[in-house]
Amino acid sequence: MIETDRYAYYPGCCAKASAKEYDATTRLVCQALGIELVELENWVCCGASSAHSVDKLLGITLPAQELQSAARLNLDLVASCSLCFSRLKIAAHELKNENIRNQVSEILNEKIPANPRNGVKHLLQVLESHMDKIPLKKPLKDLKVACYYGCLLGRPKEIAEFEDEENPQVMDKIISRLGGEPVEWGFKAECCGGSHIFTRQDIVLKLSHRLLYQAKQAGADCLAVVCPVCHSNLDAMQKSIDAEYKDKVDLPALYITQLIGLAAGLPVKKLMFDKLFVDPIPLLRRKGLV
Amino acid sequence: MARVGVFICHCGTNISGAMDITRVVEAARKMPMVVTASDNKYTCSEPGQASVRQAIADNKLNRVVIAACSPRMHEPTFRKAVAAAGLNPYLLEIANIREQCSWVHAHDRKKATDKAIELVKIAVAKVIRHEPLYPREVPVTKRALVIGGGITGIQAALDIANAGHEVVLLEQEPTIGGRMAQLDKTFPTLDCSACILTPKMVDVANHPNIRLITYAEIKEVRGFVGNFKVEIMQKARKVDHTKCTGCGTCWQKCPEKSPSEFDLGLGNRPSIYIPFAQAVPAKPVIDTDHCRYIKYLQWVADGEQGKKPPECRICEKICPTGSIAWDQEPQTITEEFGAVVVATGFQVYDHRHYEEYGGGAYPDVISGMQLERLMNASGPTGGEIIRPSDGAHPKTVAFVCCVGSRDQAKGRTYCSKVCCMYTAKHAIMLKEHDPHVQCYIFYIDVRAGGKDFEEFYLRALDDAGAIYIKGRPSKIYQDGKKMIVLVEHALMGRPIEVAADLVVLATGMEPRTGADRLAQKLNISYNTYHFLVEAHPKLRPVETQTDGIFVAGACVGPRDIPESVAQGSAAAAKVVGLFSRDALVTDPVTSVVNRDRCIGCLLCIAVCPYKAIDCETTRDKRVVAVVNESLCKGCGLCVGACRPKAVDLRGFTSQQILEEVNSLWS
């Protein structure tokens, strides 16, 4: 049996840079819910968009290392970033192929098992299974949240094994559990532009603007996000989006862990709202949450 | 003394391509009791059969082994050939060296040859022990049941009735007419659907040979070809149709309205209703889920909890003939039939499965069938095409083809066949309704395979000016009053967006819910989508593997109206052919009980799937099993279950099977 309140944790590169607040609040919230996260030793980049675009084998080998580390711990591996999650899932899927498994085993100089006992989970799935344990100190009353899952979390369906790829529900369930109001909107699982931010900013501005616009149309006060890449597009780029589309979006994008921490009454200082580009404090103050 | 002849077929190169036929022939010649062995390019052909007949006569053969394809394919053919030569047709055995040998062992010539020799050897050993069997005759009840009152069932019922036979037409809804009654116009001729359908509905109602049973379902089916016994469950209408004149006072006055199934929720109907004006029978039923009085009765039965609902009973008060029958309960009717035609048709795929198109949440994203109702002069809007959300007249209409068809992600790989054409029809009709409408049609391929179909498609393009865009939309969302369709324009290779006032999803066909359960009751097959399976997709398209049960129309697969009508007529022709005989010959391959050995444990009754075994008391007061040979299908389950080995299967006796096994050791 794989333990259900102890997980191998793969923070991903963003955790050490642009998404420090996500990493910190993930650890904080998990601790509050009695989930033990064991950070993988000597973890490396999952390869993100770059590795597999230039070399398929490299794109599999990098996450295969993390899968092996987790297997040695005999724990399910949890990733908080949707892109890392996707790469880990795809690697686990590709490693079912004997030919690829042998190649990667040779590179890593380590025998990769054909049927590993442990699996890969996204942080959301872990949070969902522990949702009942959230201490509801400060319910997110009247806070209308647009849950944004991003396009990678559920796709491809057969490999991600997540939820309905077009209309996932777990984050909405968590927001309801926190006393907030998840809004119905059609862009939960649409693309934000992802890593095109480095090469084709125009694409990201267009797609992310559409997301923010639609969330506002649906009546959202803020976005709940589960991926550092999506987050930087939707949060850090909001100024550029406003400039490009002559709009005034002003829609804070918070990590789901920050919202859970807030509702659970964790110290606001530790939730690191100051790391966000679009300051959520005025909103939270209006709603009487800080 | 058995004199066996062995005939080995090449089946062109199907068999000979994978093995050494000469070696098989030579080996066969050396087998015990074999008098002659020969090969033939096509044994099933007339010259092939003639050579078998000739060999029987020349060599005074009294047993025949044909080594060829599966007995499912040609056993009847060769039985006839053997009978023509004067032998009992059951003194034949087929060695299947095609499906079970050459086709599966094409990669290893030597082993395939060895296996073929063994299969022939087994057949020879068995046929030596064969005994002549004689078929029996059973009478035929010349009365047909047609299940489903859509255009297919109507056509089948009328054709059988016109041939002079009694027909019961069974329909689960309150009226016949089926899906065709909901359509506005039909492609590619644009004739009015109701105008060509409703006269046929009236013909059914007035035909002296047709008895119509609406609002009823099949409960149980027993028996066999020529002698089916069917239990029909007549649902409670709460209206006595023997008294009702269909005057319409009740449904005009009923105060409780609910969404109309016939108008797909676009309009309302009262709780005592006929589904549409030309319904047959034109007599109402009461919707017990919504009727106020039924709700009141429920409230009383629940112990009068909460607020007292209105008692209503307006229909009862105003009915001039006193037809309202609150105490009417479902009834079971038992009828006997000689043949059954299944024509249960299709239902429209539910587009709520498409979350990317709003999952049914957007009022202005509708199905093709809903548009039919909006365009129809007797529809909820009186034929005015308006947006369900705000009643505005749409000027830009987007059509999405292949919703619920050709989509592996949604588990529907098949093409629904009619959607391309009905979308073209919609584009043409919309332009006729309002010349300012611009249609955009998103398609994967335009499939216009049918008489005048391509011309009709060109009419949508050229005359109606519809813009066809190749690509399956990835997303539909609302922006203010507009519906935005995102799609990759596959020919330009880049994403585009179209803002439309109304989006019509060309939803595909799927079998009616419950088609699988009905098939189980009838003992016929269905595929993974629950479409019924015909006996042969090309050569026996309206027959099934169960004799006397026929299938027609869209319950077998997506069909348009002409095809459904043709199939209804085809099934009727099969039924009439069956009824042209006074008696049917039954297969003598059935089980038989040795009464001296039977200990009366009756385990065989419990295992028999066809309810073919019963028991009786002998003169010395022992209980023994007895087989009804008309019902027995020769499956042999009872043989396996019988502990004292009192049951045997004619044509597959335990002794014959043992000889087959023994032959492999000798």
> Which of the residues B353, B476, B478 would you substitute to probe the A interface, choosing the one with the greatest number of A C-beta atoms within 10 Å?
B478
Per 3-state DSSP, chain A is made up of helix, strand and coil in percentages (nearest 5) of 50, 10, 40
* H or E segment and range at residue A82: helix A82-94
From residue A76, give the alpha-carbon distance in Å to each of A14, A68, A121, A156. Answer: 21, 11, 7, 21
Domain membership of residue B415 (yes or no) is yes
Contacts of A245 in chain B (CB under 8 A): none
- A274: amino acid identity, one letter: D
Q: What is the pLDDT of residues B294-326, one digit of tens each?
A: 999 999 998 888 888 899 999 999 999 999 999
Q: Tokens 């095409």 sit at which residue? A: B385
Q: Name residue A178's beta-bridge partners.
A: none
Task: Give dist(CA B166, CA B162) in Å, integer.
Answer: 9
Q: Name residue B494's beta-bridge partners.
A: B489
- B478:A167 CB<8 A: no
Contacts of B358 in chain A (CB under 8 A): 186
Residue where a domain terminates, one of B556, B579, B602: B579
Are B150 and B553 in contact by the 8 Å Cβ rule? The answer is yes
Q: Is the pLDDT of residue A1 over 50?
A: no
Are B425 and B470 in contact by the 8 Å Cβ rule? The answer is no
From residue B420, give the alpha-carbon distance in Å to each of B486, B488, B508, B567. Answer: 20, 19, 10, 22
The alpha carbon of residue A27 is apart from the nearest alpha carbon of chain B, in Å, by 34
Q: Is the pLDDT of residue B286 over 90?
A: yes
Binding-face residues of B in 357-396 toward A, CB within 8 A: 358-359, 361
Binding-face residues of B in 447-486 toward A, CB within 8 A: 475, 477-479
The alpha carbon of residue A280 is apart from the nearest alpha carbon of chain B, in Å, by 26
Residue where a domain terminates, one of A58, A90, A124: A124
- B355:A217 CB<8 A: no
**What is the number of structural domains in chain A?**
2
Residue where a domain terminates, one of A91, A124, A157: A124
Q: Are residues B455 and B557 in the same domain?
A: no
Contacts of B408 in chain A (CB under 8 A): none
Q: What is the pLDDT of residues B498-510, one digit of tens each?
A: 999 999 999 999 9
CATH number assigned to the domain comprising residue A226: 3.40.50.11810
Q: Are residues B517 and B495 in the same domain?
A: no
Contacts of B354 in chain A (CB under 8 A): 166
A78 half-sphere exposure, CB direction, 13 A CA radius: 28
Q: Are residues A40 and A148 in the same domain?
A: no
Nearest to B420 by CA among B530, B553, B558, B567: B558
Length of chain A: 290
pLDDT of B237 reads 96
Going along chain A, which residue ranges are E strands?
Answer: 6-10, 36-39, 77-79, 120-122, 144-148, 181-182, 222-225, 253-255
Domain membership of residue A129 (yes or no) is no
Contacts of A190 in chain B (CB under 8 A): 475
Nearest to A214 among B354, B356, B477 (CB): B477
Task: Give dist(CA B555, CA B533) in Å, integer.
Answer: 9
B233 confidence band (pLDDT: 50, 70, 90)? very high
Task: Give dist(CA B125, CA B663) in Å, integer.
Answer: 6
Length of chain B: 666
Task: Give dist(CA A220, CA A213) in Å, integer.
Answer: 10
Q: Are residues B67 and B17 in the same domain?
A: yes
- A157:B409 CB<8 A: yes
Q: What is the CA radius of gyration of chain B?
A: 31
Q: What is the mean predicted confidence (pLDDT) over B409-423? A: 95
The alpha carbon of residue B353 is apart from the nearest alpha carbon of chain A, in Å, by 10
B523: left (phi over 0), alpha (psi -120 to 50) or beta: left
pLDDT of B306 reads 84
Q: What is the pLDDT of residues A108-130, one digit of tens each?
A: 999 999 999 899 999 999 999 99
Contact of B350 with chain A, judged by CB distance below 8 Å, is answered with: no
**What is the number of structural domains in chain B?**
5
pLDDT of B488 reads 96
> Which of the residues B403, B408, B475 would you substitute to probe the A interface, choosing the one with the greatest number of A C-beta atoms within 10 Å?
B475
- B272: amino acid identity, one letter: I
- The DSSP code for B351 is G
Q: Are residues B43 and B109 in the same domain?
A: yes
Q: For A190, name the nearest residue in chain B, comparing CA atoms only.
A: B475
B628 confidence band (pLDDT: 50, 70, 90)? confident
Burial of A269 (0-12, 13-18, 19+ CB in 10 A): exposed
Domain membership of residue B244 (yes or no) is no
Distance, C-alpha A180 to centroid of its chain:
19
- B475:A186 CB<8 A: yes
SS3 at position B526: strand
Task: Give dist(CA B4, CA B67) in Å, integer.
Answer: 13
Q: State which residues form the domain around B472.
A: 349-509
Q: Tokens 């169960």 sit at which residue? A: B546
Are B538 and B364 in contact by the 8 Å Cβ rule? The answer is no
A64 confidence band (pLDDT: 50, 70, 90)? very high
Average pLDDT, rounded, for chain B: 95
**Residue A255 tokens, joined:** 């990590």
Q: For B477, name the nearest residue in chain A, comparing CA atoms only.
A: A186
Q: Are residues B503 and B369 in the same domain?
A: yes
Domain membership of residue B517 (yes or no) is yes
Are A91 and A67 in contact by the 8 Å Cβ rule? The answer is yes
Burial of B345 (0-12, 13-18, 19+ CB in 10 A): buried
Residue where a domain terminates, one of B70, B94, B128: B128
**Residue B650 tokens, joined:** 């004619």
pLDDT of B609 reads 81
Q: What is the mean predicted confidence (pLDDT) over A87-111? A: 96
Q: Are residues A188 and A147 in the same domain?
A: yes
Q: Are residues B466 and B495 in the same domain?
A: yes
pLDDT of B612 reads 87
Task: Give dist(CA B135, CA B83) in Å, integer.
Answer: 13
Nearest to B355 among A167, A214, A217 (CB): A167
Contacts of A214 in chain B (CB under 8 A): 477, 479
Residue where a domain terminates, one of B449, B484, B509: B509
Q: Which of A107-121, B553-567, B619-633 has the highest mean pLDDT?
A: B553-567
Task: Give dist(CA B146, CA B426) in Å, integer.
Answer: 32
Contacts of A187 in chain B (CB under 8 A): 477
Are A254 and A225 in contact by the 8 Å Cβ rule? The answer is yes
B119 confidence band (pLDDT: 50, 70, 90)? very high
Q: For A215, name the nearest residue in chain B, comparing CA atoms only.
A: B479
Q: What is the pLDDT of residues A261-274, one digit of tens each?
A: 999 999 999 999 99
Q: What is the pLDDT of residues B33-74, one digit of tens each?
A: 999 999 999 999 999 999 999 999 999 999 999 999 999 899
- A164:B355 CB<8 A: yes
Q: What is the mean predicted confidence (pLDDT) over B379-403? A: 96
pLDDT of A187 reads 93
Q: DSSP characters for B387-438?
A: -TTT-PPPSEEEEEEEESSSBGGGTB-S--SSHHHHHHHHHHHHHHH-TT-E
Contacts of A164 in chain B (CB under 8 A): 355
**Residue B103 tokens, joined:** 């086709």
Task: Give dist(CA B399, CA B222) in Å, integer.
Answer: 47
Contacts of A217 in chain B (CB under 8 A): 479
Domain membership of residue A215 (yes or no) is yes
- B477:A166 CB<8 A: no
Contacts of B355 in chain A (CB under 8 A): 164, 166-167
Task: Give dist(CA A45, CA A53) in Å, integer.
Answer: 15
CATH number assigned to the domain comprising residue A106: 1.20.1050.140
Contact of B354 with chain A, judged by CB distance below 8 Å, is answered with: yes
Domain membership of residue B116 (yes or no) is yes
Q: Are residues B339 and B353 in the same domain?
A: no
Domain membership of residue A53 (yes or no) is yes
Q: What is the pLDDT of residues B138-183, one digit of tens each?
A: 899 999 999 999 999 999 999 999 999 999 999 999 999 999 999 9
pLDDT of B240 reads 96
Distance, C-alpha A139 to centroid of its chain:
22
Q: Are residues B19 and B77 in the same domain?
A: yes
A/B interface, count of CB pairs below 8 Å:
18
Q: Are strands B365-367 and B272-273 parallel, antiparallel or unpaired?
A: unpaired
CATH number assigned to the domain comprising residue B211: 3.50.50.60
pLDDT of B639 reads 96
Task: Give dist(CA A5, CA A2) in Å, integer.
Answer: 9
Q: Are residues B341 and B395 in the same domain?
A: no
Strand order in the sheet with B549-551: B210-213, B166-170, B143-147, B339-342, B549-551
Nearest to B358 among A164, A186, A190 (CB): A186
Q: State which residues form the domain around A106.
A: 6-124
Max alpha carbon distance in chain A (Å)?
Answer: 58
- The DSSP code for A243 is H
Domain membership of residue B240 (yes or no) is no
The alpha carbon of residue B354 is apart from the nearest alpha carbon of chain A, in Å, by 8
Nearest to B359 among A167, A187, A190 (CB): A167
- A186:B354 CB<8 A: no
Q: Are residues B18 and B121 in the same domain?
A: yes
Domain membership of residue A177 (yes or no) is yes
